[in-house]
Structure 1
Amino acid sequence: MKFILIFLFSFLFACNTSSVNSAYKDYYKYQQLYISSILDNNKKQEIKALKNLIECGKYLNFDVKEYENKYKRLYQKPKVIKKSKKEDITPNNRPKKNYIKIISSNPFIITLPANKVKHFILKKYINVFDIPNAVISKPFSKKIKSIKIKTAQFNKITVRVVIYSKKIKYKIENKKLIIYLTDNKKQKMKTLVMPKAFRQKIIVIDPGHGGKDSGGIGIGHRMEKIAVLKIAKYLYNDLKKMGYIVYLTRHGDYFIPLRDRTHFANTHHADLFISIHCNITPDHSLSTKGVTTYFLSPTRDKRSISVAKIENKGVKGLNYLDQNVILGFLNHDRIIASQKFAIDVQAGVLYSLRKKYKDVIDRGVRPAPFWVLVGTQMPAILIETGFLTNPLEAKRLFDPTYEQYLAKGIAMGIYNYFRKNP
């Protein structure tokens, strides 16, 4: 019985070379496993997939040299990684486990390492809380009821929380800092009335670039990463008011690898994924302008490929072999769904913007190999909201009014997509 189990286990994880047809089926299966391992950054699974791809490929007389070279490189890496211990590098004066936890709500709640907090006020309306012996995993920036809140690592042993509001109340209770927020602005926003079935849809918004990756830099040293985060936050608020479940891949100015953005959407079981960007012209032409929405698909269109090359700079470890394998296995149904989504968003943005800005140019819906969209398990698009190299659009993309009209147009496109594809 034990021998049978061992045989079955080895059969499940090896290429079936009993016939050409069986080997070809396994080759296809291990290519899919290889793709998922690349996107999930799972080195063990990638090594296993490569090993079986090589075995199946050799049996089928395929050229597997690229797979063999990558297998050799990966197989040697784990031994080097085990030697370094990050814990040993941590300074003695920096807390190792006292991570604070933020509960984004009203009241705004932070779990503390101890019941000690220093509070003071700057310029009559900036409330500052310093939390000692604490570490935050990443900076946090958000608006709750129009009140701006920021948290960051002030120094090695202090987390600082800044709240921009004249009137707040707070208390410390059972290692929790509870801050009661007062909304000083009363805004009435028009929202689309949605069918109840739409309200639990999950949407992930990805503000492109961030941190060390500024994205495109246009006229007046305007950075793409700043404009897209503002647009994404307006969109986030609009969609939340409409009743959707919404997530941002980043809330502040910090860097996230492209693969992690896609993984975030998959782990949150998103129904839609939208990546927001600004465009630039390689030759910094001042006349080029307009809005374009892209969906992931192989293409020979030179304009789409040139834009994709700019946005794909943040990808590391995705070589020519990986790119071709992934593009060759794109799901046809998801490409069609993403194209429909792109068409609705492009139409919504143009309709919204042209209410106030009559000269907005429609650059259409296009296929392109954007790697931030690779691996998404839901319809996914990337919108280039305008050109930072165009004097007029560079100015508009940093104008709150224009940003809000853009966000409302994207929200309208999302609403229309669900209405047509329930």
Structure 2
Amino acid sequence: MIRRILLLLAAVLAASLLTPSGAVAAPDDVVKVTVVRTPEQNGGRADSLGQIAQRTLGDSARAREILELNLGRPQSDGGSLAAAGQVRPGWILLVPGDATGPDVRLGRVGPDPGGADQPYFTWKLVLALVGAVVLALLTVLLFMRRRIVRWVRDRRRTRAENARLHREIKQRLRERAELVTEFAADQAGPRLAWQAAAGLAADSVEAYALRVGDREITAWVTSGHEPRPPWQAVSDGVWTRPSEAPHGQIPGGQLSPCLVRVGGGASGPLFVDLTWLDGVLAIGGSLGVAADVVRTLLTDLVRFRPDLPVLSVPGLGGEPVGVPSTATRLRSMADLRPSGAAAGTDDGMVRLASRRCALTAVIVLAEPPSAEEAEQLFAACGPGSGQVAVVLGDLPGAHWRWKAEVDGGVALPMIGVTVTAPAR
């Protein structure tokens, strides 16, 4: 069908261009003309209107009359006489009726194509242009129809995908906002986590992360131990036990666990024990999500360990988010007290040979330090120093390195778990 339409349009276009015009202008009367000489014919000099006037009219001053008769008239080489009066060899110029001499000839000259008697845009020209445009468009559509169909499908698929992602982001934001409310109202989860960590510590088993679900508690523990009931080993270093109703108070003191929540999800909130950090925690990736994680950690510190000092180191953007009003504001990294122990860094995985340290302070940095400042930080938070640091941003060499995703997820490579960070 499309080929037939193209052939029909091509036929109409050809007919409009080939049909002879019925309005051909009648030739003019016989006029006098002269041909511009070449330099060889003119004694080695270029011909001019003054010379032509002298030869044909006997007066070079009448060159103006020849200029007015031929001004703008098209010549065979495509040029035309301009106001400057320069001529080219071979041009045929009209001369006044009283011109005489061997260079004057008689001829018939048709109407001026540039005159008002013959408009440039005729109906045939317009029809030809429209037909050519339509023919070109249909040709493009014919040869590119598959690409066009594919492009339309891709556009629809992209719009649908963007709409789906937008819905998922809104849903994820609602879930993250709900986590803030759940964490603030949750009393049972933190008690279960603290009591489970304290119970494991009583058996000389160190738990550096715990997840409290509705039916069971999962603990990531040091290797080389056998679980005692009600704990069961799921894999090397991962134990589970049924959840129990909370009772008693959250244990306190420097040697007790210092559990803070990282995030939540369908399996329940995830707690990490900062006494196992023994160095520096860096939260890289999405700056906004990382800031929400830091705010959650500091909220839990104030709630569960109000006795633990917090030191705040501002950055270019000011103070870290969520820093309690009771925190000690440091002017720079130079104010940190070195521990005197070796810094010791690794690739971001937990050093299973380390032991729980008695926390004396938590240092919070609003941005990653420089290389020189990082050395000061590692020296101040070395093994056994009692000081741990939380950095908003990635820091190579940090003991724990988490990654915050744009969608609100937080990946903890040390245990191979990703949780959802609360959002305010």
Same fold (TM over 0.5): no
Q: Which has the larger radius of gyration?
A: 2
Give TM-score, length-normalised by structure 2: 0.21
Give TM-score, length-normalised by structure 1: 0.21
